[in-house]
Copies of this chain bind each other. A is one copy, B any other.
Amino acid sequence: MAMLRAAKHAMRSLGSTAPDAAPFSRMLHASPGSKKIVGVFYKANEYASLNPKFVGCVEGSLGIRDWLESQGHQYIVTDDKEGPNCELEKHIHDMHVLITTPFHPAYVTAERIKRAKNLQLLLTAGIGSDHIDLKAAAEAGLTVAEVTGSNVVSVAEDELMRILILVRNFVPGYLQVIKGDWNVAGIAYRAYDLEGKTVGTVGAGRIGKLLLQRLKPFNCNLLYYDRIKMEPALEKEIGAKFEEDLDTMLPKCDIIVINTPLTEKTRGMFNKERIGKLKKGVLIVNNARGAIMDTQAVADACSSGHIAGYSGDVWNPQPAPKDHPWRYMPNQAMTPHISGTTIDGQLRYAAGVKDMLDCYFKGQEFPAQNYIVKEGKLASQYQ
């Protein structure tokens, strides 16, 4: 693949008009010899030593250092990913593989891709590769792959937690406790049961389906909007009703959960106008991507009470700056980007990254569902 990329680059430099698809007709494999692999993870500092299973941080390095180095590969790991003098920048020009995560995203821009002359493979430890310019990666002949499925359970569980936290008004109760207060009314006047409420998911892919399955015993009215209608048997088992039109579904919902990837179609999907058409007092859970929402429109609707609660772990950008309005808006139950990086999730996506690196070294295919960019084409959910 390195040779293919080099050939393609040379053809472009020469003004070749050869069709783009041609150079990708062979499967991905590493050229022989030592590879330089760079991983960008969040740093754990004093937390690193507190749990031996904590592999998702810089210090844990996905638990693959010995394995890589014993095969003669170089493995650089850092959390320093921004600005012209960051550690990542030092390795852009000669790295072969870049491993990133959605939790502490290294933004892989077209400009960085252009400078990464040796780069062949971009692996996302987790799910969601929108921090990578996928079109630029496709044009450059790179392969992009995720550990599909590695943390879908983790995220779905977290979404259900956030639904309950909002519906039942947990946060003001907790804050009373730590402030020495006791005022049941101040919580109860807007605490509800989840039972009987209408919950709609925007997107019912792997995570959305797991969420709906976990919601079933709560006796809600479940709706889903997706590109694809489920098979009737699965739909019946899950107990959710398909909605063909997003804007027909949304105003029916007491609770909206976002389960769609960030693409050019979904960026800013929840703008002022669309939020204005939602039920007054709607609750929104978004563990998908922060940029699916118009940041200020959400903050304004929380302030006005049109949105009665907003919870999620995704922000635009990440890390969220100290003055991000979602930190200060009323009725939020936000956290840093955490839902997919539970210890269980980390162990699964670390194993998945190792498996793909092993395939890469051996010239073998990855599991088909893992590919986000392959042979110049984007996976369907990113098209």
Contacts and interface: CB of A to CB of B under 8 A. Distances in A.
A185 B42 contact: yes
B153 A187 contact: no
A173 to B, nearest CB: 3
B191 A336 contact: no
A332 B176 CA distance: 13
Contacts of A56: 188
A320 interface: yes
A304 to B, nearest CB: 15
Interface string A153-190: 11001101100110111110110111010111111111
A96 interface: no
A344 B196 contact: yes
What is the count of identical protomers in the complex? Answer: 2
A371 interface: no
A44 B338 CA distance: 36
Contacts of A322: 180
A375 interface: no
Given A193-B154, A213-B217, A184 B42 contact: yes
A146 interface: no
B214 A338 contact: no
A195 interface: yes
Interface in A101-134: 103-104
Interface of A: 42-45, 47-48, 50-51, 54, 56-57, 103-104, 153-154, 157-158, 160-161, 164-165, 167-171, 173-174, 176-178, 180, 182-196, 213-214, 216-218, 313, 318-320, 322, 326-327, 332-339, 341-346
Q: Which 3 A-B pairs have the closest CB atoms?
A: A173-B335, A161-B164, A44-B185
B344 A170 contact: no
A341 B187 CA distance: 9
B218 A177 contact: no
Contact of A57 (B47, B164, B185, B196): B185
Nearest to A334: B177
A47 B186 contact: yes
Contact of A342 (B42, B54, B193): B193
A344 to B, nearest CB: 4
Nearest to A214: B217
A164 B168 contact: no
22 contacts: A42-B184, A42-B185, A42-B188, A51-B189, A54-B189, A153-B195, A158-B168, A160-B160, A168-B342, A173-B335, A176-B335, A177-B336, A180-B327, A182-B319, A182-B336, A183-B336, A184-B341, A188-B341, A188-B346, A191-B338, A192-B344, A214-B218
